[in-house]
Amino acid sequence: MPKKVYVTNRGGHSYEAAEKFGEIIYITEGTLNRFATNSLYRAFIDGMKDRMTKLITENLKKKVRAGEVKCENCTMKLTEKDIDNEKCGSCGAPLLEALGGHYDSA
Ligand SMILES: [Zn+2]
């Protein structure tokens, strides 16, 4: 996967120098209302979705390999293949449902 450089805001500066580190992803652009924390939060979630999904998937697979994750629907242990297929291999429940409605894997 090619490296990415996340720029929190595309302001009036040049970010060209950062291109040598990877593809530049601008999370927000221009003047923002710093008190509109909901829209800022959403912008960051969307802007970093690829990275977040990768991190969450890696964390989840680590837990699955350790045998720590069971399907909330059928109580069978989930496998890495289940994570890739985004559903429980035993009962067919969608991954989010199999995880009890949350992807957090802290
Ligand atoms: Zn299941």
Say which range, 2-6, 48-52, 62-66, 101-105, has the weakest mean pLDDT: 101-105
Residues 59, 32, single domain; the answer is no
C-alpha separations of 69 from 36, 89, 98 in Å: 36, 13, 9
**Contact yes or no for 81/60 (Cβ under 8 A):** no
Task: Give tens-digit pLDDT for 1-60.
Answer: 678 899 999 988 899 999 999 999 898 988 988 899 998 888 888 888 877 788 888 889
User: Looking at the structure, do residues 101 and 60 belong to the same domain, yes or no?
Assistant: yes
As residues whose CB is below 5 A from the ion ligand 1, the structure lists 71, 73-74, 88, 90-91, 93
Residues 39 and 83 in one domain: no
Kindly give the distance from the C-alpha atom of residue 15 to the centroid of ligand 1, in angstroms, as a whole number. 47
- In terms of Cα–Cα distance, which of 71, 61, 66 is closest to 94? 71
Give the total number of structural domains in the chain: 2
Domain that holds residue 2: 1-47
> Is residue 65 located within the same domain as residue 103?
yes
Distance 31 CA to ligand 1 centre (A): 46
Q: How far is the CA of 81 from the centre of ligand 1 (A)?
A: 13
Q: How many CB atoms lie within 10 A of CB 33?
A: 8
What pLDDT score was predicted for residue 105? 47
